Every structure is written in structure tokens, then in C-alpha cells.
Amino acid sequence: MCGIIGYIGEQTAADIILSGLQKLEYRGYDSAGVAIASDGKIERRRCEGKLVKLANLLRDQPLCGTTGIGHTRWATHGRPTEFNAHPHIDCTGALSVVHNGIIENYLKLKQDLIAGGHEFRSQTDTEALAHLIEEEMKIDNDVEKALSRALKKVDGAYAIGVIHKDSPDILLAARKSSPLILGIGDGENFIASDVPAILPYTRSIIYLEDEEIAIISRDKAVVKNLDGETIEKKIEHIEWNPVLAEKGGFPHFMLKEIFEQPQVIRNTIGGRTDEESAKIYLEELGLSVEEAQKLSAIYIVACGTAYYAGMVGKYMLEKLARVHVDVDLASEFRYRAPMVDANTLVIVISQSGETADTLAALREAKSLGAKVIGIVNVKGSSIAREVDGALYIHAGPEIGVASTKAYVAMLIALLLLSLQFGRMRGLVSVPEARRLIHLLKELPRNIETVLSEAADMNWIADRFCECSDFLYLGRGINFPTAMEGSLKLKEISYIHAEAYAAGEMKHGPIALIDRRMPVVAIATKSDTYDKMLSNVQEVIAREGMVIALATTGDEQIKEYTQNVIYVPETEEILSPIINVVPLQLLAYKIAINRGSDVDQPRNLAKSVTVE
Ligand code: F6R
């Protein structure tokens, strides 16, 4: 949801900002802009549309200067026009602001500011911030103090960068409920919404907390609270290799990330298992055997793909740990008086660790007394820092807007957790745990097999890419796989796709089936395989077209459809981890056939930091 970056140093700020924005474009790509403070003035370049237009504009009309801010936008307030593109300025153009988040009381602020003579040029909430700081500067002409006072008047979420024409030697930043990091370099410093934007320049990071302001010069970054008191901050070292955030020869990040999945699984498992002793090591969660034994219920709370991972987690936890699990959409959880108390464990799942709804649900659960653990990818993200224990999935930076490798890594983390609880509650024997750990370690090879056969499904993608609707069917632990498969298809190909628990088909969706409706049936070996075959036959009987996902060696399925994608056999509880991979590939290939921009699909953003 919008990416911001700022630079102060000795290099041409616009170049660094542009390259950083390229790494942040996954956060929004409706418009982009840069502002530079130099020679006693602020100069801006802004464009509607993707970053490439801004790059062209900067080539034709370069900006000099070594202090600046930049923004790539995912529109919330105001259409994605140049007028609404950040950076925004105050009435005189003396100061400029970039912002990620939502100023919830901006209408009231705007009314008061207009009444006080301020002139607005955009429809954004952010512009109110620029004028508010301008107004506060009338008191003492001190931009730092004016920013603090202005932020005390603001409700909502913000990560902001501010520059002023009269102070080109400082860059100001602040955050509340939207991510913002400081990058500490040698004679140069940075602000950014996310690590990849500044990785080529530094790996030393300071995470800003809510309601902190950073006053950044070339040589130092001082962090204060809104009352002006200095706060000591720790500099963290980021281990990510910058190459991980590049495409590495693949045409798209999404495809690269799909192909990374075998390695990601190895990373997520890491040193967390010992097959011989059947031990699982998840010390980072700080869960005791006593806590595991007295658990009355678990709530899993997440959004989107992470929510579907949570649905798979429910099956895993209920089967292995015999504890009641509810899975909630984060945006619903906090508005429905959840039955959470000190004996309930809440698990929040988030790739970015910044999803506003998930963060709000985590805070709600904590306020109700629950222990909250997080399954998170991005280290040091807001969710990772606020949970009682974070289980990092180690998927590396996920840049493709449609989540792939993070999903698979989340499933691995959930399986490890389920096994751990099963052992702690005395429900999974040593031989059983050993067997499952062994099968878990075989998954990367199984997925490598699926990936090596990826080209085999090209003809299926070619045959069905013009269809306007798809139905996905799955049962049991693969019902969420159907949901995730259909989400992948709709978000990158813009084809309408729905997912149903296959047993529900006869209760309504069967009415949709005709000869133009492809039905993706997840029919890999499972306890409900025969029932799934019956559903396949029900579709065929109504002239529907079936694309079946089946276990290698299953010839029976060929009696019903020739559109078969085979995957290697595994235990049912692990099957979602393999089954999702061909569905990701199918969605990718169909989207490519239709000419979609798979890494940056329309209307989406990678990190959803607004509620
Ligand atoms: C879909 C997708 C989204 C995210 C959702 C939650 O491909 O990426 O549905 O899964 O926005 O994001 P995180 O996991 O960052 O909380």
C-alpha cells in the first residue's frame, strides 16, 4: 500500500530514490513521484501510472540535489492522477511530504485548514499533512517541532518522509501503524517502507516504532518521541542477499518465486527438526508443554492467501494436536466479540508482517489476554515485533504481488507447529513424528518434480485461457488449496473463479456448470478420493470440462478427463504443500497467455497497510 523512500547523502538523490522505488513498486503502482530539496527550493516530478513513466520524465527533466523523497502510490483517497500523486507540498511549496497510510480525520483537518486560508490542490488525505505542518511552522519556524505538533493532531496511520527547502541537510520521517525503516549508511542515510529498497546501499537498519520521529542528516539519525525526547535505537543487521530481490533470469518475480519453493521449504524447516529423535525445535515461540496441554482453543487469524494457509493449518492442528481451531479473517475477527481468553492461543499469519487488519486483530487478541504467536516472513515487521513469539518462515523477499512461496512456507511452519503440539500433548508418537518429519523433508524433491514437468501443462493453459469463469473444487485439507488456486487465477488473470468444498457443489454451484465452465478438481489420493471422483462425474454428466489434479500413476481419472496434471504421491496431510504448486503455475501460464502483468496485477498491492 504505497511505498516511500528518502535519501540524504552525497549522491544524486533522484537516482537512488528511483532505484529504491523500483523495489517498492509491488506496494502500489497507480502513480509515482520524487521531490528534491536543493538551492533553496523544492522541485518535484510526478506521473500518473507506473514508475517507468517517472523514469522517462526524470531522464527528460533531471533533478539535481542530494536530499529527497519519493513515493509509489496505491490510491486510497483520490483517483490515480498526477495531481493526486505524491510528494505533496504546502501552499508555498516550501515543504514536501510523502505518506503511506490513511489520515482518518483528514476531512476535518482540511476544513479547518481551508478556513485558515490554505489552498488544496489534490483530493488526497496526505496533502492535509503538508498544510498542517506549514500551519504549525507559523509558531516557531522549526520543521521538526512543527512535525511533532502536527502528528499529535492526526488520527490514523502514517509512514511519512518530509523535506523542507530551508533545511536541505535534514530529512524527517515518522511512523504510526505503517512500516518505516531507517537505513544507516556511510555518509548517507535512507528511509524506506521496506528493506529491498535500500539493500544495495546498506544492511544496517533501524526499525521506527509507532509515534517516533527520525531527524536524519548525512552522518546521523536521531530518533525522538512526539514530545521531543531522544530514544536510543538499536541498529539491526539484515542478512538478506540483495540478489534474492532480483529476477535472476526469470521473466517474472512470480515465476522465480514459484521455482524457489523447494529451497524455501528447506529454509523453513532449517534446523527445526531432528528426524532421529523426532524432535521439533520451535523455542522462539516460548511455548511450554504445560501451556500446550491446557490449551482450550486456537484461533488462526490472517488475510487472503495467509488466511487460506490458516485453513490448512486448522486441519493439521486438529488432526495432530486434537485442539479446537477457528480460522478467522482478520478484518472480521475484531468486530465480532471473539471468545478469546488466557487459555486461548491466537496465531496470526502474515507474509509482510504489516497487514493492517492482521495487526489490529493481534492487538485485539492481546488486549483480551490471549497469548499471540506469529507466522511471519518479514523480519522486524510490525507483527513480528508485537507478537509474543514469532516463527519466521524464511521465504526471503517475496516481490510478486500474488503470494506463492510464502504460502508454501506458511504451510510448513503450520505443520511443524502441529507436530510440536501433537508431541507436547502426547498425541503423536515418536515413530509417527519421525515418519512425518521424513516425509516433510521429501517435499522439496517432490516439488522439484512438479516444477520439472511445468511445461506439460502449457497445453491446458492454452486450451482454457479464453474462458471467463472457473470453478475449483477440493475436499478436506485440499478445500483451502482450491480456494488458494482460484485466488491465484483471479488476481493475475482477471478471470472470475470460485472455489467450493466439492461436497457443497450439489447444493448450488452445480447450476453454473455447462460446456463453457472449466472445473479444476483436486483429486489426489486421499480418504475422500472416491467422493471426489463422484463429483468429477457429476460435472462431466452436465457437460462441464474437468481439469484434474491427480496423483502420479492414477489411470482411473483418465476415464473421465484427458486434462490431467499429475503430482507425486505424499501423505494427505502434506498434500496441500505439493498440490498448490501446479495451481500456481496454471494461473501464471493462463495470465501470461492473456497478456496480464503478473507481477503487478491491476488494483492490487503487496502489503495492505490500510484497514
Ligand atoms: C494473494 C495475496 C494476498 C495476501 C494478503 C495478506 O496472493 O498475496 O491475499 O496474502 O494481503 O498479506 P500478508 O500475508 O502480508 O499479511
Tell me the CATH number at 224: 3.60.20.10
Domain finish residue from 451, 466, 499: 451
**Ligand 1 in reach of 376 Cβ (< 6 A):** no
The answer on 279 and 234 residing in a single domain is no
pLDDT at res. 5: 98
Helices 405-424/304-321 angle, 10° precision: 20
More confident residue, 575 or 381: 575
Span 337-362, average pLDDT: 93
User: What sign has the CA pseudo-torsion 558, 561, 567, 571?
Assistant: negative
The answer on 542 and 460 residing in a single domain is yes
Burial class from Cβ neighbours inside 10 Å (0-12, 13-18, 19+) for residue 338 reads: buried
354 in a structural domain: yes
Each residue's pLDDT tens digit, 155-175: 988 999 999 999 999 999 999
The answer on 458 and 447 residing in a single domain is no
Span 192-213, average pLDDT: 93
117 in a structural domain: yes
HEC readout, 511-555:
HHCCCCCEEEEEECCCCCHHHHHHHHHHHHHCCCEEEEEEECCCC
599 in a structural domain: no
pLDDT at res. 243: 59
Specify whether the CB–CB gap between 400 and 257 falls below 8 A.
Answer: yes
Interval between CA 177 and ligand 1 midpoint (Å):
17
pLDDT over 90 at 102, yes or no: no
* Residue 362 lies in domain: 247-451
Question: 196: closest CA among 247, 144, 145?
Answer: 247
Length of the chain: 611
- Which residue CA neighbors atom 10 of ligand 1 most closely? 305
Number of domains in the chain: 3
The answer on 521 and 581 residing in a single domain is yes
pTM: 0.77
Specify whether the CB–CB gap between 228 and 148 falls below 8 A.
Answer: yes
Span 583-601, average pLDDT: 94
Span 194-206, average pLDDT: 92
> Which of 351, 488, 491 to mutate to test ligand 1, by most ligand atoms within 8 A of the CB atom?
351
Please, which pLDDT band fits residue 245 given cuts at 50, 70 and 90?
low
Span 384-390, average pLDDT: 94
608 in a structural domain: no
User: Would you call the peptide bond into 62 cis, given omega within 30 degrees of 0 as the criterion?
Assistant: no
pLDDT at res. 270: 87
Residue type, 331: S
- Residues known to be catalytic: 2, 606
User: What sign has the CA pseudo-torsion 423, 428, 432, 437?
Assistant: negative
- Which residue CA neighbors atom 7 of ligand 1 most closely? 402
The answer on 464 and 565 residing in a single domain is yes
**Ligand 1 in reach of 485 Cβ (< 6 A):** no
**Ligand 1 in reach of 374 Cβ (< 6 A):** no
Domain finish residue from 410, 432, 451: 451
The answer on 84 and 67 residing in a single domain is yes
Q: Which atom of ligand 1 is nearest to the CA of 305?
A: 10
The answer on 217 and 75 residing in a single domain is yes
Q: If residue 231 lies in a helix (H) or strand (E), which one and from where to where?
A: strand 230-231
pLDDT over 80 at 106, yes or no: yes
Span 23-28, average pLDDT: 83
Please, which pLDDT band fits residue 343 given cuts at 50, 70 and 90?
confident
> Which of 608, 609, 610, 611 to mutate to test ligand 1, by most ligand atoms within 8 A of the CB atom?
608
361 in a structural domain: yes
pLDDT at res. 609: 66
538 in a structural domain: yes
E strands present in 367-506 = 371-376, 389-392, 469-474, 496-501
The answer on 229 and 130 residing in a single domain is yes
Please, which pLDDT band fits residue 359 given cuts at 50, 70 and 90?
very high
The answer on 279 and 384 residing in a single domain is yes
Domain finish residue from 432, 451, 470: 451
pLDDT at res. 365: 95
564 in a structural domain: yes
**Ligand 1 in reach of 305 Cβ (< 6 A):** yes
Interval between CA 404 and ligand 1 midpoint (Å):
10
**Ligand 1 in reach of 403 Cβ (< 6 A):** yes
> Which of 331, 352, 354, 403 to mutate to test ligand 1, by most ligand atoms within 8 A of the CB atom?
403
The answer on 46 and 181 residing in a single domain is yes
The answer on 288 and 217 residing in a single domain is no
pLDDT above 90: percentage of residues in the chain:
80
Span 425-430, average pLDDT: 96
Span 277-287, average pLDDT: 91
609 in a structural domain: no
**Ligand 1 in reach of 381 Cβ (< 6 A):** no
Each residue's pLDDT tens digit, 525-546: 999 999 999 999 999 998 899 9
Span 455-481, average pLDDT: 95
Q: For the domain that residue 305 is a member of, what is the CATH number?
A: 3.40.50.10490
Each residue's pLDDT tens digit, 548-565: 999 999 999 999 999 999
pLDDT over 70 at 462, yes or no: yes
The answer on 273 and 129 residing in a single domain is no
Span 398-426, average pLDDT: 96
